[in-house]
Chains A and B, each alone.
Chain A
Amino acid sequence: KAGVTQTPRYLIKTRGQQVTLSCSPISGHRSVSWYQQTPGQGLQFLFEYFSETQRNKGNFPGRFSGRQFSNSRSEMNVSTLELGDSALYLCASSLASGPQETQYFGPGTRLLVL
Chain B
Amino acid sequence: AQSVTQPDIHITVSEGASLELRCNYSYGATPYLFWYVQSPGQGLQLLLKYFSGDTLVQGIKGFEAEFKRSQSSFNLRKPSVHWSDAAEYFCAVGARNTDKLIFGTGTRLQVFP
Which A positions have Cβ atoms within 8 angstroms of B?
4, 31, 33, 35, 42-45, 48, 50, 55-56, 58, 90, 92, 94, 97-108
Contact = CB atoms under 8 A, between A and B. Distances in A.
Given A99-B51, A105-B45, A43 B90 contact: yes
Secondary structure dominating the interface of A: strand
Interface stretch (B14-22, B70-78, B99-107): B99-107
A96 to B, nearest CB: 9
Contacts of B100: 33, 45, 48, 56, 58
B95 interface: yes
B102 A45 contact: yes
Contacts of A33: 99-101
Interface in B57-106: 90, 92, 94-106
28 contacts: A4-B43, A35-B103, A42-B103, A42-B106, A43-B92, A43-B101, A43-B103, A48-B99, A48-B100, A56-B99, A56-B100, A90-B44, A97-B98, A98-B97, A98-B98, A99-B51, A99-B94, A99-B96, A99-B99, A100-B32, A100-B51, A102-B49, A103-B46, A103-B99, A104-B46, A105-B44, A106-B43, A107-B42
B41 interface: yes
Interface of B: 32, 34, 36, 41-46, 49, 51, 90, 92, 94-106
Nearest to A106: B43
Given A42-B106, A43-B106, A99-B49, 14 more contacts: A35-B101, A48-B99, A56-B98, A58-B100, A90-B44, A92-B43, A94-B99, A99-B95, A100-B51, A103-B46, A104-B46, A105-B44, A105-B45, A107-B43
A42 B36 CA distance: 14
